[in-house]
Amino acid sequence: MKAFKISLIWLAGITLVAQIAIAALPFNWPSDDGEMPTLAPMLERSKPAVVNIATRSQVPIRDNPLLNDPFFRRFFDIPEQQPRHRTKQSLGSGVIFDAKQGLVITNNHVIQRADEITVSLTDGRTFQAELVGSDPATDVALIKIPTEQLTALPLADSDKLRVGDFVVAIGNPFGLGQTVTSGIVSALGRSGLGIEGYEDFIQTDASINPGNSGGALVNLRGELVGINTAIFSPSQGAGNIGIGFAIPSNMVKQITNQLIEHGEVRRAHLGVQMQDITPDLAKAFDISSSHGAVVTRVQPGSAADEAGLKVGDVITAVDNNKLINADSLRNTIGLLMVGETIKIDILRNGKPKTLTATVKETEKQVHQGPVHPKLSGATFGDIEEASPHYGKLKGVMIYTVKRGSPAWYAGLRAGDIITSANKQAVENLEDFKPMAHNGEPLLLNITRNQQAMFLLLR
Domain ranges of the chain: 2-38, 42-264, 268-361, 373-457
- DSSP class of 134: E
Is it true that 42-264 and 268-361 share their CATH fold?
Answer: no
* Rg of the Cα atoms in the chain: 25
Distance between CA atoms of residues 444 and 62, nearest Å: 13
Tell me if residue 57 is catalytic: no
In this prediction, residue 233 carries a pLDDT of 67
- By the 8 A CB rule, do 39 and 168 touch? yes
Q: What would the CATH number be for the domain defined by 373-457? A: 2.30.42.10
What pLDDT is attached to residue 191?
Answer: 74
- Select from 1.20.1260.10, 2.30.42.10, 1.10.760.10, 3.90.870.10 the CATH code of 268-361: 2.30.42.10
Q: Taking the CA atoms of 15, 20, 22 and 28 in sequence, report the sign of the dihedral they define.
A: positive
Look at the alpha carbons of 178, 225, 138, 262 in this order and tell me if their dihedral is positive or negative.
Answer: positive
> Which spans in 369-422 are helix H?
406-410
How many CB atoms lie under 10 A from the CB of residue 73?
A: 15
Q: 61: which DSSP letter?
A: P
Does the annotation count 139 as an active-site position? yes
Catalytic pick among 93, 135, 139, 182: 139
Q: Give CA–CA dist 241/235, Å, rounded.
A: 10
pLDDT along the chain (458 residues), means of 10: 27 32 45 71 91 78 56 58 60 90 92 85 90 87 91 91 93 84 90 72 88 90 92 62 87 89 80 82 78 84 89 88 78 79 88 89 55 81 71 82 80 86 86 76 84 84
In this prediction, residue 263 carries a pLDDT of 82
Task: Given the residues 134, 182, 213, 249, select the one marked as catalytic.
Answer: 213
Q: Of residues 90, 109, 134, 205, which has the active-site annotation?
A: 109
pLDDT of residue 231: 80
Q: How far apart are CA 196 and CA 386, in angstroms?
A: 9
Which DSSP letter does residue 428 get? S
pTM listed for this prediction: 0.68
Q: What are phi and psi of 230, to 5 degrees?
A: -150, 160
115 an active-site residue?
no
The correct CATH number of 42-264 out of 1.10.287.180, 2.40.10.120, 3.60.20.10, 2.60.120.330 is 2.40.10.120
CB burial of 113-139 (b: ≥16 within 10 Å; e: otherwise) equals bbbebbbbbeeeeebebebbbbbbbbb
Residue 226 in contact with residue 187, Cβ under 8 Å? no
